[in-house]
Amino acid sequence: MLANLQSISLPTEAETQALGARLASLVQPGDFIALRGPLGAGKTTLARGLICAFMGEEIEVPSPTFTLVQRYEAGLISSHNGQDLMHFDLYRLEDPDDIWELGWEEIGASIALVEWPQKAGPHLPADHLDIEIKFEGNHRIACFSAPATSVWKERLHDF
Ligand SMILES: Nc1ncnc2c1ncn2[C@@H]1O[C@H](COP(=O)(O)OP(=O)(O)O)[C@@H](O)[C@H]1O
Ligand SMILES: [Mg+2]
**88 backbone φψ class: left, alpha, beta (φ>0; ψ -120 to 50):** beta
> Is 130 a domain residue?
no
What's 50's domain CATH number?
A: 3.40.50.300
- pLDDT by residue for the chain (159 residues), tens digit each? 788 989 999 999 999 999 999 999 999 999 999 999 999 999 999 999 999 999 999 999 999 999 999 999 999 999 999 999 999 999 999 999 999 999 999 999 999 999 999 999 999 999 999 999 999 988 999 999 999 888 898 888 888
Domain hosting residue 30, numbered range: 12-122
> Is 49 a domain residue?
yes
Residues near ligand 1 (Cβ within 6 A): 10-13, 16, 37, 39-45, 63, 115, 140
Ligand number with the minimum distance to the CA of 140: 1
**116 backbone φψ class: left, alpha, beta (φ>0; ψ -120 to 50):** left
| Domains: count for the chain | 1
**Ligand 2: centre distance to CA 46 (Å):** 9
**pLDDT number for residue 138:** 84
> Is 96 a domain residue?
yes
**Ligand 1: centre distance to CA 13 (Å):** 6
> Is 143 a domain residue?
no
**What residues are paired with 7 via a beta bridge?**
143
Residue minimizing CA distance to atom 3 of ligand 1 = 13
Residue 116 is classified by DSSP as S
Closest CA to 67 of 132, 115, 12, 13: 115
Angle at 22 between CA 76 and CA 55, to 5 degrees: 20
> Is 146 a domain residue?
no
> Is 148 a domain residue?
no
> Is 144 a domain residue?
no
Host H or E run for residue 51: helix 43-55
> Is 42 a domain residue?
yes
